[in-house]
């Protein structure tokens, strides 16, 4: 029998569920304990931010919100590996990566509060990243297009996109990785496999043993990592970014994690998954393992944890106040940024809305 091709998928992990180191060849960044503390602090900030966001939604101050609970290691690992000149095309819950790149919580709140100005990031390097993408997997094509532009211009930049396990079944994802392989583009696509595509479990989404192997068909380097281990995520990202930057092609990274909360605040995960599964997910969650590792190294303790949480609470309160105090846009904003020249039907609707507003103001005056 003649074999046309063979492949295998490496699994990468440095810290187990209890925070014990399972291999000795730590990457250079992980040997810098001060840096690892900063990464942990951002993970903790992200979790505090997430809890605050859900509270805002529950009190009617935000629209539907997509929680990132349990994804902190994967997201911070992605963002911290990127260079400022790289471009990030997120989906809609990768706040840890975005916070690292300069997105402000108030901007996230504005977006989920229905104000598109939240997409206009004010700080670098996030300012040249893409906005949130709720349509599933379309951001992968945006990233592939950016990667093609970088290649044409001869720029040493990499486009990074993130997609969920369910989204990796979309044609947009396959189209993006296919062109990246065919054209040798500097694209890194991370599948954040949190085991659930809303209510659809991973086991019936794909017959493939790993989601990482989807990249093999496109000719991309592919690897599966423990998505709750920030060292593994960061190492895989650094390697993939370096290969892409040096013209050695793109990569698909599958970060295996777990969605500890509901899909969004409009979802009730208790309807489709059992308590024991969620409990098992908490046993493997990312914060505990990195904290245990840092405590064992003597660089973190309960006092530092509580002090940092207090700082995070103050930061979030300031960001929430900034969001709530943001001046409301004029009602015409919903029409003004869709087309360069407003079509007649929309212009008619715009005029009608303005007339209603004028009538309302007139009634207030009397």
Inter-helix orientation angle 33-58/302-324, to 10°: 50
- Cβ–Cβ under 8 Å, residues 218 and 212: no
H/E run at residue 105: helix 105-112
H/E run at residue 242: helix 230-245
H/E run at residue 215: helix 214-217
CA 337 to chain centre: 26
**Residue that has been written with the tokens 């079944």 in this structure:** 169
Distance CA 198, CA 274 (A): 14
Cα–Cα distance list, 46 to 34, 73, 98, 211, 315 (Å):
19, 10, 10, 26, 11
Which token pair is 37? 């503390």
Q: Is 51 exposed, middle or buried (0-12, 13-18, 19+ CB in 10 A)?
A: middle
Distance CA 290, CA 74 (A): 12
DSSP string, 129-180: SPPP--STTHHHHHHHHHHHHHHHHT----EEEEEETTGGGSHHHHHHHHHH
Give catalytic residues, as residue numbers: 259, 263, 272
Burial 220-239 (b: 16+ CB within 10 A, else e): bbbbbbbbbbbbbbbbbbbb
């Amino acid at each position: 029998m003649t074999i046309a091709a063979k492949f295998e998928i490496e699994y990468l992990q440095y810290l187990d569920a209890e925070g014990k180191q399972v291999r000795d060849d730590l990457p250079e960044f992980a040997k810098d304990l001060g840096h690892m503390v900063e990464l942990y602090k951002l993970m903790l900030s992200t979790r505090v931010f997430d809890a605050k966001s859900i509270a805002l939604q529950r009190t009617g101050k935000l629209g539907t919100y997509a929680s990132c609970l349990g994804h902190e290691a994967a997201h911070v690992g992605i963002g911290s590996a990127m260079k400022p000149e790289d471009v990030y095309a997120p989906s809609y819950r990768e706040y840890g990566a975005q916070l690292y790149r300069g997105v402000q919580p108030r901007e996230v709140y504005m977006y989920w509060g229905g104000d598109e100005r939240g997409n206009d990031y004010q700080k670098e390097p996030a300012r040249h990243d893409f906005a949130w993408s709720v349509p599933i997997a379309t951001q992968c094509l945006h990233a592939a297009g950016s990667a093609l532009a970088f290649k044409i211009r001869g720029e040493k930049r990499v486009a990074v996109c993130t997609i969920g396990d369910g989204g990796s079944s979309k044609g947009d994802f396959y189209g993006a990785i296919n062109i990246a392989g065919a054209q040798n583009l500097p694209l890194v696509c991370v599948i954040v496999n949190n085991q659930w595509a809303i209510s659809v479990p991973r086991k019936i989404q794909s017959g493939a043993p790993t989601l990482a192997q989807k990249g093999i068909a496109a000719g991309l380097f592919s690897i599966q990592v423990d998505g709750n281990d920030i060292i593994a995520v960061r190492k895989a990202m650094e390697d993939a970014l370096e290969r892409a930057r040096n013209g050695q092609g793109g990569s698909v990274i599958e970060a295996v994690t777990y969605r500890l909360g509901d899909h969004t605040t409009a979802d009730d995960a208790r309807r489709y998954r059992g308590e024991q599964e969620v409990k098992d997910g908490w046993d493997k969650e990312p914060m505990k393992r990195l904290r245990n590792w840092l405590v064992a190294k003597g660089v973190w303790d309960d006092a530092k944890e509580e002090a940092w949480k207090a700082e995070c609470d103050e930061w979030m309160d300031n960001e929430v106040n900034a969001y709530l105090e943001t001046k409301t846009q004029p009602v015409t904003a919903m029409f003004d940024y869709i087309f360069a020249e407003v079509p007649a039907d929309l212009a008619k609707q715009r005029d009608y809305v303005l007339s209603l507003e004028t009538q309302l103001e007139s009634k207030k005056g009397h």
